[in-house]
């Protein structure tokens, strides 16, 4: 377990503030194609599938890179890896402006996508400054850097109008390079790295870092993150295109409405971390999935006209969401996803304190792959079905499957831990410890201490 001896609140605030700001800038860069991609789509005459691939390509690099960036952060520390990763990404973003063909755009997008790897670097770096009782809140605050997607949705359309997409990319590159320098100058070496250097201990090997990836529990966490984070990234990139196509809005208005989704999906992650510290990550995951199912069911219902054979004459009516109702539902969905993102990462430093980089990297990679796969699927669905709401139908199916798997897995764990409950049908869904319906005259089961539910 890492030591926090000598760490002051000022040190914690410095580490959390710098890493959160850096992650916000990186996330804004990572989602830049959601805006400039619309202009590139028009210039190159791309169909929706090609556009989906372009938007998703940076997410692929950002996802895969989380594995090795997480391991390197554990070995060399975030103070070294974070600014290095940002500077390399800034160079790639600047070079993007010299590209003119679709195929080369895809290659350039791979380099830009390295910005997404910043997440695991910040998670591994930030978690080392806090004890486990406060890591959920701290990582929730750090994760609010997802607001970078909202920054891009709000600001980038106006930059594109004023400077063109090439000028917008150059502005982003300069800001990212400046952030790298700021972090390198003001950040401190985390306490675990400092203790390791003083003791002369070697860094944990890559093989040792990857050892926990053999556990099914890690992959289950990754599956949850596929929706709450991968789905968030996919929708943040897809919604501007949806508003322009489905509602005929101008790009600037579409960007603002998409930003209204990205904002709560980002800033309330801190609240999700606090709620996970207070009530447990499992309860927050149930809340996230169930509310998301209801919202996605409504969003997935297409604009429909009905004609009923009435007694005296046919009766016709229509069902469809106005743009205002649609925006409100996406805001609610984004809020729930922000809670879920924090809940997933609450588990990792508690269960795997010495493998945050590797485990968090895998979970982040799978989640990020959702942000890569889903935009492509959205484009294919639009091209093949011609139904604007088809992407939300896919999201509904993903959440439904995730909810069922989570519930079944939890029930199995409860029954393994308490064999006497194997035949019991009246278990609580979100208990601190499994509860049974008491038989007549039986004494009530004593309440388990808070936090017992974490020992999955």
- Over residues 244-256, the pLDDT tens digits come to 888 989 888 888 8
Report the C-alpha gap between 91 and 112 in whole angstroms: 9
Among candidates 233, 282, 11, 289, which has minimal Cα distance to 138? Answer: 11
Mean pLDDT of the chain: 80
Residue 439 has pLDDT above 60, yes or no: no
Mean pLDDT on 320-343? 90
Helix crossing, 9-30 with 148-186: angle to 10°?
130
Mean pLDDT on 445-451? 43
pLDDT score of 453: 43
Report the C-alpha gap between 227 and 332 in whole angstroms: 15
Element (H, E) at 307: strand 304-309
Residue 299 has pLDDT above 70, yes or no: yes
The helix, strand and coil proportions of the chain, stated in percent and rounded to the nearest 5, come to 75, 5, 20
pLDDT score of 103: 86
Task: Quickly tell me which residue has 């009766």 as its tokens.
Answer: 315
Mean pLDDT on 440-452? 45
Mean pLDDT on 206-232? 75
pLDDT score of 185: 93
Burial of 39 (0-12, 13-18, 19+ CB in 10 A): middle
Rg (CA), the chain: 23
pLDDT score of 362: 74
Residue 450 in tokens: 């808070």
- What secondary structure does DSSP assign to 341-378, as a single string? HHHHHHHHHHH-TT-HHHHHHHHHHHHHHHHHHHHHHH
Domain map (residue ranges) of the chain:
9-190+203-304+316-400
Mean pLDDT on 218-237? 84
Are 269 and 342 in contact by the 8 Å Cβ rule? The answer is: yes
Mean pLDDT on 56-79? 82
Among candidates 419, 430, 424, 455, which has minimal Cα distance to 442? Answer: 424
Among candidates 331, 234, 262, 243, which has minimal Cα distance to 38? Answer: 243
pLDDT score of 68: 80
pLDDT score of 82: 93
Of the two residues 297 and 65, the one the predictor is more confident about is 297
Instruction: Give the model's confidence band at 420: pLDDT under 50 very low, under 70 low, under 90 confident, else very high.
Output: low
Bridge partners (DSSP) listed for residue 307: 316
pTM equals 0.64
Residue 411 has pLDDT above 80, yes or no: no
pLDDT score of 191: 82
Instruction: Give the model's confidence band at 450: pLDDT under 50 very low, under 70 low, under 90 confident, else very high.
Output: very low
Of the two residues 3 and 444, the one the predictor is more confident about is 3
* Residue 269 to residues 100, 146, 266, 273, Cα–Cα distance (Å): 38, 9, 6, 6
HSE-up (13 A, CA, CB side) for residue 377 = 18
Domain 9-190+203-304+316-400 adopts which CATH fold? Growth Hormone; Chain: A; (1.20.1250)
């Amino acid at each position: 377990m890492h030591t926090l001896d000598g760490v002051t609140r000022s040190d914690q605030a410095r580490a959390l503030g710098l890493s959160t700001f850096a992650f916000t800038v990186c996330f804004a860069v990572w989602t830049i194609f959601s805006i400039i991609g619309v202009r590139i789509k028009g210039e190159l005459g791309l169909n929706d599938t090609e556009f989906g691939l372009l938007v998703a390509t940076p997410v692929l690099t950002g996802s895969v890179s989380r594995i090795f960036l997480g391991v390197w952060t554990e070995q060399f520390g975030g103070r070294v890896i974070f600014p290095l990763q940002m500077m390399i990404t800034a160079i790639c973003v600047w070079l993007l402006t010299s590209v003119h063909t679709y195929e080369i755009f895809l290659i350039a997008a791979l380099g830009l996508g390295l910005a997404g790897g910043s997440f695991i670097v910040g998670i591994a770096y930030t978690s080392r400054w806090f004890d486990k009782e406060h890591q959920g809140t701290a990582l929730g605050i750090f994760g609010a850097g997802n607001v970078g997607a909202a920054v891009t949705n709000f600001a980038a359309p106006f930059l594109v109008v004023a400077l063109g997409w090439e000028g917008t990319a150059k502005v982003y590159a300069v800001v990212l390079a400046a952030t790298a320098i700021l972090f390198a100058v003001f950040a401190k070496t985390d306490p675990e790295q400092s203790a390791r250097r003083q003791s002369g201990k070697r860094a944990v090997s890559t093989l040792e870092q990857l050892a926990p990836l053999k556990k099914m529990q890690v992959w289950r966490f990754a599956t949850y993150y596929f929706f709450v984070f991968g789905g968030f990234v996919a929708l943040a990139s897809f919604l501007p295109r949806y508003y322009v196509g489905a509602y005929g809005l101008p790009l600037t208005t579409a960007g603002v409405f998409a930003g209204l989704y990205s904002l709560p999906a980002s800033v309330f992650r801190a609240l999700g971390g606090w709620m996970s510290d207070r009530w447990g990550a499992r309860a927050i995951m149930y809340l996230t999935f169930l509310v998301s199912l209801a919202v996605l069911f409504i969003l997935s219902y297409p604009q429909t006209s009905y004609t009923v054979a009435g007694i005296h004459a046919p009766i016709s009516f229509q069902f469809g969401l106005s743009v205002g109702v649609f925006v409100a539902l996406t805001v609610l969905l984004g809020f729930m996803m922000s809670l879920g993102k924090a809940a997933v990462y609450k588990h990792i430093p508690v269960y795997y304190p010495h493998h945050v980089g590797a485990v968090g990297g895998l979970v982040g990679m799978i989640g990020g792959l959702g942000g890569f796969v889903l935009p492509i699927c959205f484009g294919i669905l639009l091209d093949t079905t011609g139904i604007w709401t088809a992407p939300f139908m896919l999201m509904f199916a993903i959440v439904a499957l995730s909810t069922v798997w989570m519930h079944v897995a939890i029930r199995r764990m409860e029954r393994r831990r308490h064999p006497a409950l194997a035949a019991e049908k009246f278990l609580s869904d979100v208990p601190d410890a499994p509860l049974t319906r008491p038989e007549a005259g039986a004494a009530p089961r004593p309440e388990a201490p808070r936090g017992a539910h974490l020992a999955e």
